[in-house]
Structure formats: structure tokens, C-alpha cells
Structure 1
Amino acid sequence: MKIEILERESYYHIYNRGINSTLIFFNEENKSFFLRQLNKYLTNKISIFAYCLMDNHFHLIIRLNKEEKEVTQAFSNFFNSYVKAVNKENDRTGSLFEKHFKRIKLQDENYLKQLILYVHLNPKHHLDANFKEYKFSSYQAFISNKETRIKREEVLDLFGGIENFIFCHNQKNEILTEKHTFE
């Protein structure tokens, strides 16, 4: 599989899962540590538009602020630091993630909006959890006034304001709920 080259100022869906779909987060502290390490290694190199951490996979929606080589190296350092800490904590060795992290370049604003909805609704889809209350998603950062590194204003502008941001999430959630009910 050819790996997409990351380009400065472009938007990407970055994701990966555990090798053989196994856990990559064994507890909530792992998820908190993952977010701290993401900040440590990638602050100022990327802008984050949404994220969600599930037990066996993660999603990030980002824009590159630096050149590809610098960002790719920072991602490598970030993932390595996370894996080393989790392996040590869980007395395990070897790979935690499937090969290279996956990346899909986003081509337009509509796809970006749909992907933000998809990422935020991941807890509903995978855990049948309330996406509004899920702790390890960026959704709450958008509806609160707390300081955040998430590109809140850019995303809310993309949706036409906070009211429409919430409306779109609720509407997509209802569609998922109806679909799940009929299956």
C-alpha cells in the first residue's frame, strides 16, 4: 500500500488501530497520556480539528503547519513514546499499532464536515455510548468555553456557528440511532 505524502497546509484524517484489532488503550490514563504526548510532540506542527480515542483505534483530523518531513518525524516520535510507555506499563513487547499510521487527504469542506461528525459519533457507533458525554473526543471542547488547542472557531465557522454544529451532530446521531434500530 502506497503511503500518502503529507503536504503543508493540507487537511488529513489520521487514524490507526491496534495490531490485529487489539487494544491500544488499556485504561483512561493511557488515553490521557496519548493526548499529552500528542501535544508534546506535535504542538505548532499541526492544527487539530477533531479527535476521538476508542479502545482499539483513534481518529485525528488535522492540518499540517510545517513541512512533511518534520511532521512525519514528530508523529513517529509521538507514537514511539506512547508505545514504549504502554509496553512498559503492561509488561509487553513489540508493536502496538498496525504498520504505518493511515492518512487520507481531505479534498473539500463538505468532506471535512462529514468527517468531523463521523469522528465525534464514533462512541455511538462502536460503544453505543452517548457521544456528547464521551470523555476522549473533542466534541466537548467545541461546546464549552474552556481553553483548548482544538481549532474551535474554525470548525464552528465551518458549521455556521455552535447552534448548527450541535444540530448537525444531533441529526446525524438520530440517523445512526434509527439505522441501528432497524438492523
Structure 2
Amino acid sequence: MRQLETIKLDQYYHIYNRGINSENLFYSEDNYRHFLKLYKKYIYPIAETFAWCLLKNHFHLLIKIKNEEEICKTFSINSDKATKKPSQQFSNLFNAYAQAINKKYNRHGSLFEAPFKRKQIKNEKYLKNLILYIHNNPIQHNFVEKLSSYKWSSYNSIISEKKTLIERKKVIDYFNDKQNLIDTHQQKIDTESIDEWLKI
């Protein structure tokens, strides 16, 4: 089992996890909405979000942790505390969501596999491939046949004109323009190489 990376400031990460023993994380639409509400509360203050997808028993997030100055300013803390803030905020998110699910469904114990998984992204090629990988997850798991039919991912937010907290312009720029982004998402992607990369 590989050692989990320390979350560093000003770096890109793929954050992902699943339910403990592959149990479901989301049982109803309200659950998805509540997770996203908590995500907005805990994660947007410490990270830019480029892509996300929530599925029944797992999730994927593509983020860039903000820099030291931004985090210090947001939370009115010193630099020593800033380095620990991202991990703390993710723990707060997962703990708050698990508590809500346990209370709502009268369950006990852990909800997520622990600790949550993270993989630093060090080049643009993998960043682009991960955007495609994350958005195509519902198709890979046979939930839908069209990306736009799945409502619990960032894909529709990126291709729409509606207000969003997603880094829409930056994501589109990686694909040159919106039409190329849409066209590229329709092509078959190499999920095996991404899966293997995540295991390293």
C-alpha cells in the first residue's frame, strides 16, 4: 500500500474515495445536494475546483489548493496553520457529511474509507485526461449514455452559461474552446492508464 501524499499548497490534486466496504455514500438526491452544500462551505475557501463527479458509492474531485497568502487571508491565520488547513477542511467535509447520513438513516460508524485518497497532478496532460476521466465516470459505470444526462457532475456547469463556482474558463482553455471540449468528451478515453496511474 503506497503512502498517501501530504496535501501541499498551490498544487493540483485528484481527490477521490468510496464508501467503506463499497457501501453507498448517496441514497437520495437530497444526499447529493447536501454533500455539495458542505463542499461549498469547506472546500471552496481552500481550493479551486476544476471537475467533480459524485456516484452512488464513490466520488472524484479535481482541485488546485490555494496558495499560502490566500489561505492565510481567508481564515485570518498564520503560515504555520495554513499548511494544515486543506487536510483539515477535507476532514471537516467528510465528517460533517458522515454525521448527517448516520443521523438521517440511523446508521453508525464510518461512512468513507479512511484516509481519503489524493494524487498530485504534475503535468497538463494528466490534468486534461483527469477532467475527461472524471466526467466520463457515469458512462463507464453504465449510469447514463450521454454525459449531459448525468446531473451530479461538473460537466453541465462547464458547458453552460449559468453562474458557477467551477473554474469554467480555465477548464475550457485547456481544450482551447468549448466546442473542442465537448467534442473531446465524446471520444473514447483511456480509462485503464488513469486507473493504473492512480495505483502508483
Output the TM-score relative to the length of structure 2: 0.84
Matched, 1:120 2:121: no
1:153 maps to which residue?
Answer: 169
2:179 maps to which residue?
Answer: 163
Structure 2 CA distance for aligned equivalents of residues 111 and 135 of structure 1: 24
Query: How far apart are residue 21 of structure 1 and its match?
Result: 0.6
2:97 maps to which residue?
Answer: 82
1:93 maps to which residue?
Answer: 108
Please tell me the residue identity of whatever aligns with 1:114: N
1:103 maps to which residue?
Answer: 118
Q: How does 1:123-138 map to 2 (within 5 A)?
A: 123-129=138-144, 130-138=146-154
- Structure 2 residue matching 1:48: 3-state secondary structure: strand
2:30 maps to which residue?
Answer: 29
Identity of aligned residues (%): 46
2:61 maps to which residue?
Answer: 60
Structure 2 CA distance for aligned equivalents of residues 137 and 172 of structure 1: 18
Instruction: Verify the 8 A CA contact 1:5 1:68 in the aligned structure 2.
Output: no
Please tell me the residue identity of whatever aligns with 2:62: I
Structure 2 CA distance for aligned equivalents of residues 171 and 26 of structure 1: 30
- Structure 2 residue matching 1:94: 3-state secondary structure: coil
Matched positions, count: 175
Please tell me the residue identity of whatever aligns with 1:133: S
Instruction: Verify the 8 A CA contact 1:48 1:60 in the aligned structure 2.
Output: yes
Q: Any unmatched runs of 5+ in structure 2?
A: 72-81, 192-200
Please tell me the residue identity of whatever aligns with 1:76: S
1:172 maps to which residue?
Answer: 188
2:74 maps to which residue?
Answer: none
Structure 2 CA distance for aligned equivalents of residues 73 and 151 of structure 1: 23
Query: How far apart are residue 41 of structure 1 and its match?
Result: 1.1
Query: How far apart are residue 100 of structure 1 and its match?
Result: 0.8
Instruction: Verify the 8 A CA contact 1:49 1:150 in the aligned structure 2.
Output: yes
Structure 2 CA distance for aligned equivalents of residues 4 and 119 of structure 1: 20
Structure 2 CA distance for aligned equivalents of residues 94 and 44 of structure 1: 28
- Structure 1 residue matching 2:17: 3-state secondary structure: strand
- Structure 2 residue matching 1:3: 3-state secondary structure: coil
Query: How far apart are residue 4 of structure 1 and its match?
Result: 0.4
2:3 maps to which residue?
Answer: 2
What RMSD in Å do the two structures reach over aligned CA positions? 1.4
Structure 2 CA distance for aligned equivalents of residues 164 and 131 of structure 1: 15
Structure 2 CA distance for aligned equivalents of residues 152 and 136 of structure 1: 16
Instruction: Verify the 8 A CA contact 1:122 1:131 in the aligned structure 2.
Output: no
1:179 maps to which residue?
Answer: none
1:139 maps to which residue?
Answer: 155
Output the TM-score relative to the length of structure 1: 0.92
